[in-house]
Amino acid sequence: MKLHSNIIGEGKPFIILHGFLGMGDNWKTLARQFSESNYEIHLVDQRNHGRSFHSNAFDYDLLAEDLKHYCDTHNLKDIVLLGHSMGGKTAMLFASKYPELVHKLIVADISPRYYPVHHDAILEGLSSLDFTQIKTRGEADKALSSYIQDVGTRMFLLKNLYWVEKGQLGLRINLEALKENVSEVGEALPIHASFEKDTLFLRGDRSEYIPKADETIIHRHFPNSKIITITNAGHWLHAENPKEFYDAVINFI
C-alpha cells in the first residue's frame, strides 16, 4: 500500500503533507516555487486522501509509518518536512520517531496539543452529496452550501470531486473511514515525543489554532523551535498569504 505523490523539481528532498480532507495537489503552486531553490518537492497524499490507498484504519502512528515506508521506497534522507494541520501532526510525530531522517521541520497552523472534533458540519455536508442526483460541480456546491456557508471552504472541499466515469461524479477521499476515525485527527502528540533539530511553527494571525498559550507546549516538544505569525491569514495561511508563507519557509530552510 504505497502513498501517491507528485514529485516536482530536483535537488534536496522536501516533503509536504496536506491537512484533513486535502491532498498534495493543493500545494502545487508553492511546490513549484520551492523547487526553484534546488529542492525536489514530494507532494504526498496521506492514506484515505487524494489518490492514495483507502483503509479503515486511520491514526497518526499509521500516517507516520506510511511516510516512513514512502521515504524508504524513494530512498529519502535528510529531508525538509512541512506539514499543515493534520499533516503537521503527522510531521511532528514522524520527526520525533525518525529524527535521523529529518533535516528541518516546518509545522503550519497546528500545535502538539489535543483538539476537540470540529469538522461535524463539513462531514455532514459531504455525506449528504447524492451523486445519483448531483451531476455537476455547481450542483455539489449548492448542496454543500446548506451546511457550509464559507465559499473558500467549499471550494477547498470540492477539489475532492472527480469523474468516476463519464457523467458520474464521486469523492476521492475515503469519507466513511474519515468519519469513523475523525476523533483521531485532534489527538495530541505523545507526551514524551520530542525533536531537537531546527523547527519552524507558522500560524495565521486570524487563526485560533496556535494561541499564545500553546507556545509552552511547542517549546517543550521542540526545544529548537521558533514561531512566526503570517499576517492576513487564517488556518489556510499558505493559500491566504502565499508570499509571506513562502518567504518564511525559504528563509528558514
Could you list the active site residues? 85, 235
* Crossing angle of the two packed helices 151-158 and 120-127, in degrees rounded to 10: 50
Contact 208, 181 (CB under 8 A): no
d(CA 46, CA 148) in angstroms, rounded, equals 24
CA angle in degrees (0–180, nearest 5) for 126-70-63: 45
CA 3, distance to chain mean position in Å, is 14
What CA–CA distance (Å, rounded) separates 109 from 244? Answer: 14
The neighbour count for residue 252, using CB atoms within 10 Å, is 17
CA torsion through residues 206, 144, 147, 175, sign: negative
Q: How far is the CA of 125 from the CAs of 98, 176, 248, 251, in angstroms?
A: 37, 13, 35, 39
> How far apart are alpha carbons 195 and 117 in whole angstroms?
26
Given a contact cutoff of 8 angstroms between Cβ atoms, the answer to whether 85 and 19 are in contact is: yes
Angle, CA 62 vertex, CA 39 and CA 173 arms, to 5°: 80
